[in-house]
Amino acid sequence: MTEITDNLGGIGERLRKAREFLELKQEEAAAAVGIPRSALSLIENGRRKVDSEELARFARVYGQSVDALAGTSALPPLPESVHALARAATELSDNDRNELLRFAEFLQARGPRKDGRA
């Protein structure tokens, strides 16, 4: 079992944001991961290490990669507006999410706007 010790505050912050994004209470997330709520609180506050097995369970529960939660992902962070759009899309029906995706693809295909905005 490997402990993840680099940047504990960063890992804790990413775990907290992922939990809040899913609108889970600490009690719910801790139960799903199999740790006490107090341990989750310490992790999110950067005061407790996360071992690799726990991080893998967090990744499964939160639907994210271990790399993303550990901060080792090569992908750049997404703007807050993208996170807000994702949160809003979770409330939509499957058909509406597909329509939203088609609209996003349309916007990408049309290229940059003449007024310089994306």
Characterize 24-35 residue by residue with b for buried, 16 or more Cβ atoms within 10 angstroms of its Cβ, and e for exposed.
Answer: bebeebbebbeb
Where do the domains of the chain lie, and which CATH numbers do they carry? 3-70 (1.10.260.40), 80-110 (no CATH)
Q: Give the count of beta carbons closer than 10 Å to the beta carbon of residue 20.
A: 14
Classified as helix, coil or strand, 50 is strand
Instruction: Report residues of the chain scoring pLDDT below 70.
Output: 1-9, 74-76, 113-118
Q: What is the pLDDT of residue 82?
A: 85
